[in-house]
A and B are shown apart, each in its own frame.
Chain A
Amino acid sequence: MNRIPVRVTVNGEPTEHDVEPRLLLVHHLRETLRLTGTHVGCDTSNCGACTVLLDGEPVKSCTVLAVQADGHQVTTVEGLAAGDGRLTAVQEGFRREHGLQCGYCTPGMIMAATGLLAAEPDPPEHRIREALEGNLCRCTGYQMIVNAVRWAAAHAGETFDVATGPRQAEGAA
């Protein structure tokens, strides 16, 4: 079986593995690197649950071969919180605004929203909706997800303690 060396910087850490060319990036992340925060949803590049940042742009990792990421930077949902575990504004926004119910689509939603806010720090609501066009949620009806992204835009650059509950964090903020 032919294997190809793949060097990807994942969440800031250089990684190197020999992989089969047909290995999908999402499986490389979940199975080789054990980063299971990135979900496989539809597996047909529709639902966006597998969204990660590739060189800062949201992509669907079920439709990228791991070999295509060679030499590039990947950020997964595990890479958002800083080393001290403090959440980004997007992560905290989803918590505050109840931007999830079952949570399956959430890592992809958060990565798509993170990519949007990096490019457009203060997007109008229609831009948020366009940026999340490739992410399906079957629970929330999207409004609360949009609210979560708006909340994140309003708190750009702040970080949040994961241990404090939303109520206490409200007082602290």
Chain B
Amino acid sequence: MIPARFDYHRAADAAHALALLGELGDEAKLLAGGHSLVPLMKLGLAQPAALVDVGDVRELSYVDERDGVLAVGALTRYRDIERSELARRLVPILAHATGRIGDPQVRARGTIGGSLAHGDPAADLPAVAVATGAVMVVRGPGGERHVPAREFFRGFLETALQPDEMLVEVRFPASGVEPWAYEKFSRRAQDYAIVGVAVVRGPEPGIALVNMDSTPVFCAAASAALGRGEEARAVAELAAADGRPPSDLNGDGAYRRHLARVLTERAVRAAAI
């Protein structure tokens, strides 16, 4: 399968990428690792007129600790997050969930910013960002703005990003995100989750579901119940009632609610240790 024709622009750095986006308007898409976008282009489901390749913009590839946050550059590849000692120590749910994306080849190419900006509700990192209360640093022609992950995802493959903006950094709270658990269920090792759940117990509990709606689902009632110390089963019942789960060949909505309940109960118990 061969993608439709497009114009190709390679950005030397983030400023160049933003200038290109400004010039090309909403005809253009950013290309990071390309492991969400290229498959869609091969299937003809995405046909951008132009791509701005930011894959070699190394200035946005880093995992740093600063001012109480774990700051992850948007173009940091999954592999580098998975292997980052800092990420494993400060936000272990991020390192763990990143290590469960796709397969090793996918993790060698895909980037955190690419996944979040793509906004696929079946992907792992959007739910992790929502559960941990991460903040997106978005850069545009007018400067930078900060968007909480819980307000970032607007619809299926839709985010708060404007066509002339790019996600440059993701900030995770560097404390209070433990204990944690991440559970996902898929038929084959490399598949997207049919349903997944990220649970952060911390002082401010956060529970978010994967693939239970057109966006990652923040389970406000279940998170509050977890904060009150309610039992895993009760928390899981609340989580499973959230979202509007899709029906597809992997399972119908009722089955997804069943999975959400089982996985959340399991994750809440695991996060108790």
Residues of A participating in the B interface, judged by any CB pair closer than 8 Å: 1-2, 4, 20-22, 24, 27, 43-46, 48, 51, 54, 57-60, 63-65, 67-68, 70-71, 112, 115-116, 130-131, 133-135
Contact = CB atoms under 8 A, between A and B. Distances in A.
A149 B79 CA distance: 22
Interface in B143-185: none
Contacts of A27: 2
Interface residues of B, number: 30
Contact of B105 (A22, A71, A130, A134): A134
A67 B105 contact: no
8 contacts: A43-B42, A48-B103, A63-B42, A67-B8, A67-B10, A112-B105, A133-B104, A135-B103
A4 B4 CA distance: 16
Contact of A21 (B1, B6, B105): B6
Q: Which 7 A-B residue pairs are closest in the complex by CB-CB distance?
A: A134-B103, A21-B8, A57-B108, A133-B103, A22-B3, A133-B189, A60-B105
B56 interface: yes
B104 A71 contact: no
Contact of B2 (A24, A59, A133): A24
B34 A65 contact: yes
Contacts of A1: 5
Contacts of A46: 190
Contacts of A60: 105-106, 109
Given A44-B1, A64-B38, A135-B103, 8 more contacts: A1-B5, A2-B8, A22-B2, A22-B4, A43-B1, A71-B56, A115-B104, A134-B103
Contacts of B35: 45, 63
B108 A65 contact: no
Nearest to A20: B5
